[in-house]
Amino acid sequence: MMNSGFDRRDFLKMLGWGGVAVALNGCGNTSVDDGKETVVSYVETNDYMIPSISTYFNSTCAQCDAGCNITGRIREGRVLKLDGNPDSAINRGKTCGLGQAGVQHHYNPDRVREPLLRKGGQGEAITWEKAYALIAEKLNGVSGEEIAFLTGGVSGHLKVLLGNYLDSFGCKNHFVYEAIAPAVLRAANKKSYGVEMPRFNINKAKVVLSFGADFLGAWVSPVHFSQQYAQFRKGVDGQRGVLIQVESKMTLTGANADRWVVVRPGTEGILALGIINALGIATGDIAAAVKGYDKARVSKETGVPPGQIDKIAALLKLRSPSLVLAGSAAEGYAHGSQNAAAINLLNQVLGNVGKTVEAAAVVPFPQMAPATGNTAALKTLNDGLNAGKYKVLFSYAANPVFTAPGAMKFKDSMAKAGFRVAFAHYLDETAMQADLVLPLDSALEDWGTQVPEYMAEGAQINIQQPLMEKLHANTRGMGDILLALIKLRHTEEYKKFDDYYAYLRTAVLQNKGALGGGVADDDTFWNETLSKGIIKPAGSSHVLSGNATAAGLSLPASAAIDAQYPLQLIPSVSASLRDGRHTNQPWLQESPDPLTTIVWDSWVEIHPKKAAELRIEEGDIVEVTGKNGSIKAQAYLFPGIHPDAISIPLGRGHEALGRYAKGYGVNPFQILDAVFDKETGELALHETRVKVSKTGQRFIVVKDEGVAGGMQMGRKIAVRVSSDKVRLSEEV
């Protein structure tokens, strides 16, 4: 099996176990020939399949990258509902609305069903053989540097196969792009704590001070954090946790805060330094660095009253441990890294590092670790495309034509690639620009492994398995496609794998020992693995290494008001629509935004005071104009926003994707300026300045909120009580 040109190390690398400290069993017990097995569909009735009785299979939610483990309910061969897997450390049996809608991704009527080749303005259905032959033809004679592979966040064996495929060309152009990932935070965390993504123990904190981290909505691992939040509210040692949220536009997390502190956009870091100053416990260079940030100055720059700063500092001093979080709102500026560093410094000063900020577990296989991305990668790709560097462009799990900032003009850049291949579930905006569209299996039809970026407890590898037979005969799994493509390059090495399933099974069994398989025989271990849906390898932990220093910290004063574009545009990320890839799932379109209760459309949030100044009323169609274009949407008067800012949610405004998405709302990505964080090169999402003008049109806003506009009119419906009036410790 192993000839001289292909040694054991290469073999392990092929299967994803390459890298440091791989604990592999002796090779003798396992045969790679096991890969010949074929997938047994759940539709073929097994003994345990009884009509009208549901069966349940574990898999992994693919609606976002948090990696929640799910259990699918299957009846008569159809998957009906997804719920959380109770044995998961991440979501413990729970799901969010986005996760629930996973079935609508699978059953979506607008999925691509055939490989499509561009013929003029139309897509012509072709066979897979023809598609593969076409790719081979286009790649013929093309060097590795002339190929670009764009993906969203990928991990697990898909990342391994993709890496191996790109290696076969000597191609280093794997661009990982996530439109709304916490990329600045990762870099700041790396500096402050020595790791990109430590573990945040909200449930162990007595006070959480969050600078725009929407951890109950769309930040990092919201289902996990929501459970921690519920424990935090019940209290540590009987003392209920206190949440203070600092931001310029109220997020779902802000709406749940004990104290919501509105701050002038971009001055989050200044406030953090002001709090350190007010605490008065910092020493050395930190004390020196915050010396100038006295209450009067900080209050003037941030707009937060001095009394408020005192109260926050006093509470943080009194109740320990606390936890300070830097979220996307603080990151989204040209000085985003500095903001995040200043906020992280608060954790150091308060002694939270090691208590509520802990080292996270790591999966000991670096090849499988999640490839996380950012807009900086997209910018590099965009520059390369403009320079005519790429002859072939592949795109998977990203929709840059929709999500790239308008100033980047990605659609035009993309046209400069010689041949464009999109792997797609839907004909989204990027697929519409492709020459070849390859239809993918849904996440509920496909095999895979996934490694979550945020590890809740121990290290875990998630298993994704089909919950039912494929709905459409001509869709393929991404793993199968990559395997087919790689076979065109390395026929000999990969011919033993009939399909991605065989590859995956071989890979997992190959490393049975390190994956907790012990002495179980292959079939038993494999079946157990599928049945649990989670592999818990003996993981190691990152070590937190960052030290508390204020070196290099410099925060600009809040920007002067631009007379032409006086308002700051805050593109908000909603828990259900995120970057817009799921907008064609009708449950999500009809699920009201928690704060405005608006459905099926975009809106412009504007503070009532500012609205009065501009004579804008609810439902007025306003034009929001920036340096890179304008969009029109309905105004919604919203008290939870800084008067010098407006907010438009991301995710809507599709020109393609499908019947439930196309034509609903507007896309604020389109008017974003290309301003980047100075340290990381990451897009500063909140740095676009705009002006708002009335168009004269007005519509009735479609929302769930009643005519009373969210007032209880003296009735006792949703009741609130002060914490000193209850005894939570005596409750059930």
Partner 1 sequence: MSVNNLLENWSQFRHFHPVDDKPHDPYKWAMSIDLDACTGCNACSVACYAENNLPVVGKEKYAHGQAMHWIRIERYWDEDDREFPDQGAQFLPMMCQQCEAAPCETVCPVAATNHTADGLNSQVYNRCIGSRYCSANCPYKVRYFNWYDYPSDDNVWPAEMNQQLNPDVTVRGKGVMEKCTFCVQRLHAAKGTARSEGRIVRDGEVQTACQQACPASAISFGNLVDPESRVHKQWQAQQVALDKDVQTKDKEEGGSELRGYRIFEELRPYPSVMYLERVRESAV
d(CA 435, CA 122): 10
| Shortest Å, Cβ 66 to partner 1 | 11
Encode burial over 9-22: b for 16+ CB neighbours within 10 A, e otherwise: eebbbbbbbbeeeb
How far from 385 is each of 149, 151, 375, 419, 460, CA to CA, in Å?
12, 15, 15, 12, 37
Using CA atoms, how far apart are residues 441 and 471, in angstroms rounded to an integer? Answer: 9
CB 216 within 8 A of CB 253: yes
Min CB(598)–partner 1 separation in Å: 10
Report the residue number, 76 or 294, with the smaller CB distance to partner 1.
Answer: 76
- Minimal distance, residue 75 CB to partner 1, in Å: 6
Pairing of strands 419-424, 392-396: parallel
Shorter beta-carbon distance to partner 1: residue 103 or 404:
103
CB of 602 vs partner 1, minimal distance in Å = 12
CB of 432 to partner 1, least distance (A): 22
Query: In the complex with partner 1, which residue's Cβ is closer, 105 or 335?
Result: 105
The pair of structure tokens assigned to 215 is 């951890």
**Residue 82 or 161: which CB sits closer to partner 1?**
82
Cβ closest to partner 1, residue 229 vs residue 447: 229
In whole angstroms, the minimum distance from the beta carbon of 51 to partner 1 comes to 10
Q: How far is the CB of 189 from partner 1 (least distance, A)?
A: 24
Q: Is 597 helix (H, G, I), strand (E, B) or coil?
A: coil
Alpha-carbon 295 to chain mean position = 36
Q: Which of 55, 386 has the CB closer to partner 1?
A: 55
CB of 241 vs partner 1, minimal distance in Å = 9
CB of 478 to partner 1, least distance (A): 21
Residue 75, Cβ density class (10 Å: 0-12 exposed, 13-18 middle, ≥19 buried)? middle
The least CB distance from residue 638 to partner 1, in Å, is: 9
SS (H, E, C) 599-646: CCCCEEEECHHHHHHCCCCCCEEEEEEECCEEEEEEEEECCCECCCEE
Residue with tokens 């290099």: 552
Q: Which is nearer to partner 1, 98 or 485 (CB)?
A: 98
Q: Residue 130 gets which letter from DSSP? A: H
Smallest separation, CB 423 to partner 1 (Å): 21
Q: Which is nearer to partner 1, 147 or 180 (CB)?
A: 180
Nearest to partner 1 of 243, 502 (CB atom) = 243
Give the integer Cα–Cα distance in Å for 378 and 382: 6
Distance CA 391, CA 137 (A): 12
Give the residue with the Cβ less far from partner 1, 108 or 430.
108
State the nearest-atom distance from the C-beta of 61 to partner 1, in Å.
12
Q: What are phi and psi of 81, to 5 degrees?
A: -155, 150
**Exposed, middle or buried by CB within 10 Å (0-12, 13-18, 19+), for 532?**
middle
Tally of residues, the chain: 732
Q: What is the DSSP letter of 703?
A: B
Per-residue burial over 181-202, b if 16 or more Cβ lie within 10 Å, else e, is bbbbbbbbbebbbbbbbbbbbb
Q: Whole-angstrom Cα distance, residue 142 to residue 162?
A: 18
Of the pair 543, 700, the CB lying nearest partner 1 is at 700
Q: How far is the CB of 691 from partner 1 (least distance, A)?
A: 23
Q: Minimal distance in Å, beta carbon 284 to partner 1?
A: 29
Written as one letter, the residue type at 502 is A
Which residue carries 């462009």 as its tokens? 393
What lies within 8 Å, CB to CB, of 426 at 6+ separation is: 108, 110, 111, 112, 584, 656, 657, 658
CA–CA distances in Å: residue 635 to residues 24, 187, 571: 60, 36, 14
Query: Quick one: 40 or 718, whose CB is closer to partner 1?
Result: 718
**Among residues 128 and 587, whose Cβ is nearest to partner 1?**
587
Of the pair 151, 574, the CB lying nearest partner 1 is at 574
| Strand 322-326, strand 207-211: pairing | parallel
Cα gap 164→15, rounded to integer Å: 9
Taking the complex as a whole, the smallest distance from the CB of residue 203 to partner 1 amounts, in Å, to 12
Q: In whole angstroms, what separates CA 728 from the centre of its chain? A: 34
Which amino acid makes up residue 132? Y
Judged by beta carbon, residue 91 or residue 462, the one nearer partner 1 is: 91
Q: Which of 60, 33, 89 is nearest to 450 (CA)?
A: 60
DSSP calls for 149-165? EEESSB-HHHHHHHHHH
Smaller CB separation from partner 1, 163 or 640 = 640
DSSP 294-328: -HHHHHHHH---HHHHHHHHHHHHHS-SEEEEE-H
Q: Which is nearer to partner 1, 82 or 481 (CB)?
A: 82
Instruction: Enter the tokens of residue 336.
Output: 């985003």
Q: How far is the CB of 717 from partner 1 (least distance, A)?
A: 6
Q: Taking the complex as a whole, how short is the minimal distance between the CB of residue 415 and partner 1, in angstroms? A: 33
Give 639: exposed, middle or buried? Use CB within 10 Å, 0-12, 13-18, 19+. Answer: exposed
Distant-in-sequence, close-in-space partners of 630: CB < 8 Å, separation ≥ 6: 623, 624, 671
